[in-house]
Every structure is written in C-alpha cells, then in structure tokens.
C-alpha cells in the first residue's frame, strides 16, 4: 500500500478511535469537567470552520476550476459544499433523537435515576450505532484531507478526535450501568469509532478508480460542508450546554487562531 494512503488511513483510525478515550474518562472519572468539554468542543468547531472556509474550499475551487473552467468550477464548488451539508443533515434526520450522539450526558449523571438494565443496554447499543452512522462520512472527510494535504490533515484529525471523546462517554455510561462491566463499556465506546476508518477504507476502494482533479475537488468541497455543519449543528450547541456561553466562544476563537497560525507556518 502506498505510504500516503497508509498515513491517511492511520490518521483516520486515530481520530475515530478517540471515542475510546471518552469511554475511559466515563469509567475512571467521578465527574466530567464541563468547562473543559465546553472549551474543547468550541475549539474543535473553530478549527473546522476556519480551515473549511479559508483553505479547504479554496483548494476545492482550484481543483474544480482546473477541471471545469472558472465559472463551472466555482458553481461545482458551491454545489458540493452545500451537498456535504445536506448529506450530514439527512444522516442526522434518520437517527432517532433519543439515540442521537449530539445529546451527550456527563459522567456526573451516572448516578441519576435511569431506565432498567435492558433499557440502558438498548440505549448504549443504539447510541453506539448512531455514532457509527454519524461518523462514517467523517471518516471519508478525514481520509480525503490526509490523502491530499497531509499537513492540513493533522489539525483536522485533532479537532475530530476532540469532538469524538464526548461521544465515547455517551456510549460507555449506559452500557456500564446496564452490565456493570467496565470492559464491555470501554469496547462498545471504542467500537463506535470504528466507522471512521471503515468509511475511509470503503470510500477509497469505491472511488480509487475515479480519482482525478474533479473528484478530489468535489470531495474537498463536500468535506468542508460536512465540517461546517457538524460545527454549527453539533459542536457549538453542545459546548454551550456544557458550560458558560463565553467559554464556548473563547474555545471557538482559540481554535480559529491556532488553525490560522498553523496554516501560515506551512506557507
């Protein structure tokens, strides 16, 4: 396997399996640091929004204008960008709200009154499944970014990994409460992130024969749309729920600033 493909796949797996970190936090901590989660989720949103709007879209437009001309390429870039948003919005719509990974409970809620053991187990399993479905296109997004722009992929991977940690918490808590098994809770949370490397692998196998500038341009623009949607629909609302409004905004600005500096360093 080509080294660049292996590197992209390993980065995608690292981002996806960070759900296991969330599982560990849920099992070893008595309380979740809500302020930390608020800042971290805001930071992730800042990284993804900034890199999508300033770098990913520009590279997508370069690919597509080279393949389709200035006017056609610009229209195709906009269409693919909003198409990525539509894709992730439809996936969210198909996931029942009670199992949607956007609704994450803190570790401190483990002791609250909850459904019976079978209900908790069902909640944990369906949450893991929902997160897997939700993370599938994220895996393709991370993989394409890493394959085309390895230096650009590192902060994207870090941002996606940060936002996967609370999702691992959401899986581990009900599984642990239902079974009393830390091992099962951890492996369910870890397994829910496998969708990202699986999405990357399947996407590469399906699209490999068709890779050219036009395909890369469409994928890059769609990646930008997916990340912007996730940031506004998932990360920022969750960040505000976890902590004070200002903390999420401070995290957002910090993420944008770090992303801006990292891009300038690679000029």
For 180, counting Cβ atoms within 10 Å of its Cβ (0-12 exposed, 13-18 middle, 19+ buried), the class is exposed
| Token pair belonging to 83 | 């198409």
CA 18 – CA 141 distance, rounded (Å): 16
Residue 115 has a pLDDT of: 45
Whether pLDDT at 101 is above 80: no
Q: Is 65 left (phi over 0), alpha (psi -120 to 50) or beta?
A: alpha
16 φ/ψ angles, rounded to the nearest 5 degrees? -70, -45
How many Cα atoms within 13 Å fall on the side-chain side of residue 176?
Answer: 22
3-state secondary structure of 260: helix
Whether pLDDT at 220 is above 70: yes
- Could you report the per-residue pLDDT of 132-183, keeping only the tens digit for each? 666 776 777 778 777 777 776 777 787 778 777 877 877 787 788 778 788 8
CB crowding 208-229: b at 16 or more within 10 Å, else e: eeeeeebebbbbbbbbbbbbbb
């Amino acid at each position: 396997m080509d080294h660049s493909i292996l590197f992209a796949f390993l980065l995608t797996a690292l981002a996806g399996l960070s759900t296991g970190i969330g599982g560990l936090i849920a099992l070893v901590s008595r309380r979740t640091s809500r302020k930390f989660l608020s800042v971290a989720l805001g930071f992730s949103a800042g990284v993804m929004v900034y890199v999508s709007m300033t770098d990913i879209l520009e590279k997508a437009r370069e690919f597509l204008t080279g393949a389709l001309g200035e006017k056609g390429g610009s229209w195709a870039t906009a269409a693919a960008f909003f198409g990525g948003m539509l894709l992730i919005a439809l996936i969210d719509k198909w996931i029942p709200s009670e199992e949607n990974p956007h609704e994450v409970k803190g570790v401190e809620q483990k002791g609250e009154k909850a459904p019976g053991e079978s209900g908790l187990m069902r909640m944990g399993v369906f949450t893991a499944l929902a997160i897997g479905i939700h993370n599938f296109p994220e895996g393709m997004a991370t993989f394409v970014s890493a394959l085309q722009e390895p230096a650009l992929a590192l902060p994207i991977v870090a941002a996606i990994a940060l936002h996967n940690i609370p999702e691992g918490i959401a899986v581990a808590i009900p599984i642990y409460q239902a079974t009393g098994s830390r091992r099962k809770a951890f492996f369910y949370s870890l397994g829910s992130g496998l969708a990202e490397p699986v999405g990357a692998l399947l996407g590469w196998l399906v699209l490999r024969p068709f890779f050219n500038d036009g395909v890369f341009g469409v994928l890059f623009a769609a990646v930008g749309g997916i990340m912007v949607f996730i940031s506004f629909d998932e990360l920022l609302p969750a960040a505000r729920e976890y902590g004070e409004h200002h903390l999420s905004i401070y995290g957002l600005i910090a993420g944008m600033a770090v992303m801006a500096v990292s891009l300038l360093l690679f000029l």
